[in-house]
Amino acid sequence: MTDVSKFTPKTVYVTYIAATPEAVFEALIKPEFTRQYFGGFAADVEPRAGGAFRMLYPDGRVHISGTVLDWTPPKRLSCTWLVEGMPGFGDLPECIVTYEIEPAGGATKLTMTESHSWEVPEAILAGGRSGWPAILSGLKSLLETGKAPAITMVPPAGFTDAVQRALREKPWASQGR
């Protein structure tokens, strides 16, 4: 089981959505929603702590795999993430992605926190920092207008090199994991 206390928040993104907390929670876990705003990937989530969490390619291959750590609809969803779909990425340590959902002035506040258990280089964090705004802007548009802008997500400059370097040097091995 993942030791959550070893993980530190590295990237936080907050957005406010004109929808109910229940609708926001559904949009995070139902494939008919995620396909529209999350790069075409279909969420496949077992609705319980300890269940499997996966994001699937249209052909059913696994892009992201993990385990549900906290299943508290419609307030909180926390999962471990391992990006298996990109070559080599499956050998990086897993991270934890947590969504917190709360009512806010008639709307809903969604907070995404990406936490890591090792000193992740900025160039690797930049991947999530460029991806999350596109994904969660799409989620907001989808719930408010019925249509998500599907924004192309290109890895930022230096991202792939930083991942390759981390895979060679495995800095997490000496960071007390």
Residue 42 or 92 with smaller CB distance to other proteins: 42
132-151: contacts with other proteins (CB under 8 A): 133-134, 137-138, 140-141, 144-145, 147, 149-151
Residue 146 Cβ vs other proteins, minimum distance, rounded to whole Å: 10
> Cβ closer to other proteins: 33 or 53?
33
Residue 50, token pair as written in the block: 């300890």
By CB under 8 A, the count of residues binding other proteins is 27
Torsion angles phi and psi, residue 53, rounded to 5? -120, 125
Instruction: Classify 63 in phi/psi space as left (phi over 0), alpha (psi -120 to 50) or beta.
Output: alpha
Residue 109 binds other proteins (CB under 8 A): yes
Q: Which of residues 36-55 bind other proteins (CB under 8 A)?
A: 40
Q: Report CA-CA distances (Å) from 94 to 14, 89, 98, 138.
A: 22, 10, 13, 25
Report the residue number, 137 or 160, with the smaller CB distance to other proteins.
Answer: 137
Asked if residue 107 binds other proteins (CB under 8 A), the reply is yes
Residue written as token pair 């990406």 = 114
Which residue, among 133, 118, 163, 172, has the nearest Cα to 8 in the 3D structure?
118
4 vs 107 by CB, closer to other proteins: 107
Q: Find out whether 132 and 138 touch, Cβ atoms under 8 Å.
A: no
Q: How many CB atoms lie within 10 A of CB 56?
A: 20
Considering only 8, 14, 57, 169, the residue that binds other proteins (CB under 8 A) is 14
Dist CA 19 CA 27 (whole Å): 11
Q: Which of 4, 6, 10, 15 binds other proteins (CB under 8 A)?
A: 15
Cβ nearer to other proteins, comparing 71 with 118: 118
Q: List interacting residues with other proteins (CB under 8 A).
A: 14-18, 40, 104-107, 109, 129-130, 133-134, 137-138, 140-141, 144-145, 147, 149-152, 154
